[in-house]
Amino acid sequence: MVDHRISLTRYLVEQQRVHGHIPSELRLLLEVVARACKRISFAVNKGDLGDAMGSAGSENVQGEMQKKLDIIANETLIEANEWGGHLAAMASEEMEGIYIVPNRYPQGEYLLLFDPLDGSSNIDVNVSIGTIFSVLRKPEGHPGVQDADFLQPGNRQVAAGYCVYGPQTTLVLTVGDGVAMFTLDREQGSFILTRENVRIAEDTQEFAINMSNMRHWDAPVRRYIDECLAGAEGPRGKNFNMRWIASMVADVHRILSRGGLFMYPWDKREPHKPGKLRLMYEANPMGWLIEQAGGAATNGRQRILDIQPGQLHERVSVILGSKNEVERVTSYHSAT
Ligand code: AHG
Ligand code: MN
Ligand code: MN
């Protein structure tokens, strides 16, 4: 039986050849990242049958305890990408500094940033987790690569995506021509196009936020959530549902699949930090995907993709999803 399904490879070749959207080097990069995600998926799916569960007993630059799978996923992405000649360097949530491609390999023109395993608190309880990645072009005009080369706003990304390890393993990707989703066919070991031109409804009745932090929120966020909780009898005139998976990848995947609003806002627990989530390898790639699907992403006051980064691991307040809801929350911030 002839397989008429479109594989990731064919989708990328067509993006390169037919639409002229991506050069062959970027196509190669995305294929390598997808293969690395497939390997991470197999490690994740072993669970207690493998030896990748539990804590690694070390702390990362974020001051968070690392899980074994955080490190395995990080090493998998480094090893898969360093020899191909498409990258100049990589940056990861799990590494303090940038990782420059070793001299024994050719250097390329792209920079790859990633959260190798997002939602790590869910690893040991069998809840969906994922890998998030973002691709920038290395700035020209100087040999080699420096830390500052990574400090580009999210509107300079050339590709962004994630792979969610859930009931299905699904790769979600944009190269600036809309959002496409590829489901892993485990029998053939290939990612198959299952959705493209994904669109998010501009309105929603579903919000995602960690409610246990309510007493720490700023007034605009508090006002928005109070109005949602007041339901049909309140100012919104409709009832809302709530979801919080504590894996950004899984919450964003739900929003790309059926709409919704996701918020991890600044709160006064650590007032010196602008938020919990990281700009370069969580908010920027997710923000671009959401915008490419017709949604919006701000930090309450500014489009996330326009934020000029000051340092590699900087954090940001995140409000993203259905456009009209993001605009409402953002308007509450500008009213203060
Ligand atoms: P990571 O596991 O990469 O550190 O990311 C976890 C993030 C994000 O995925 C999720 O939305 C958020 O942390 C959950 O935070 P809480 O546990 O505070 O709800
Ligand atoms: Mn994360
Ligand atoms: Mn992580």
Reading the chain (336 residues) residue by residue, the pLDDT tens digits are 777 899 999 999 999 998 788 999 999 999 999 999 999 999 999 999 998 899 999 999 888 999 999 999 999 999 999 999 999 999 999 999 999 999 999 999 999 999 999 999 999 999 999 999 999 999 999 989 999 999 999 999 999 999 999 999 999 999 999 999 999 999 999 999 999 999 999 999 999 999 999 999 999 999 999 999 999 999 999 999 999 999 999 999 999 999 999 999 999 999 999 999 999 999 999 999 999 999 999 999 999 999 999 999 999 999 999 999 999 999 999 988
Output the residue whose Cα is nearest ligand 1's atom 12: 246
* Pocket test residue of 65, 244, 276, 279 for ligand 1, highest count of atoms within 8 A of CB: 276
Residue 295 alpha carbon to ligand 3 centre in Å:
24
Q: Is the CB of 118 under 6 A from ligand 1?
A: yes
Same fold, 8-195 and 206-334: no
Instruction: Kindly calculate the radius of gyration of the chain based on its CA atoms and give it in whole angstroms.
Output: 20
**In terms of CATH, what superfamily is 8-195?**
Fructose-1,6-Bisphosphatase, subunit A, domain 1 (3.30.540.10)
Output the residue whose Cα is nearest ligand 1's atom 15: 246
Q: With the CA atoms of 297, 303, 308 and 312 taken in that order, what torsion angle do they form, in degrees rounded to the nearest 10?
A: -10
Q: Alpha carbon 270 to chain centroid distance?
A: 23
Residue 206's beta-bridge partner residues? 241
Residue 118 alpha carbon to ligand 1 centre in Å:
7
What's the token pair of residue 104?
């024994």
Q: Which residues contact 157 (CB under 8 A, 6 or more apart)?
A: 134, 135, 136, 284, 285, 288, 305
Nearest-atom index, ligand 1, CA of 212:
19
What does the pLDDT read at residue 52?
86
CATH number of the domain located at residue range(s) 206-334 in this protein: 3.40.190.80
What does the pLDDT read at residue 20?
83
How many Å apart are CA 162 and CA 181, to the nearest integer?
10
What does the pLDDT read at residue 91?
98
Question: In which residue are the tokens 């809309």 written?
Answer: 178
CA distances (Å), origin 50, targets 62, 80, 113, 280: 27, 21, 27, 31
Q: Is the CB of 13 under 6 A from ligand 1?
A: no
CA distances (Å), origin 108, targets 88, 105, 136, 208, 238: 5, 9, 12, 39, 52
3-class secondary-structure state, position 217? strand
Q: Is the CB of 90 under 6 A from ligand 1?
A: no
What does the pLDDT read at residue 21?
81
Structural domain boundaries of the chain?
8-195, 206-334
Residue 245 alpha carbon to ligand 3 centre in Å:
14
Output the residue whose Cα is nearest ligand 1's atom 16: 246
Q: Is the CB of 66 under 6 A from ligand 1?
A: no
DSSP-derived secondary structure letter, 282: I
3-class secondary-structure state, position 173? strand
DSSP-derived secondary structure letter, 64: P
What does the pLDDT read at residue 2?
78
Residue 170 alpha carbon to ligand 3 centre in Å:
18
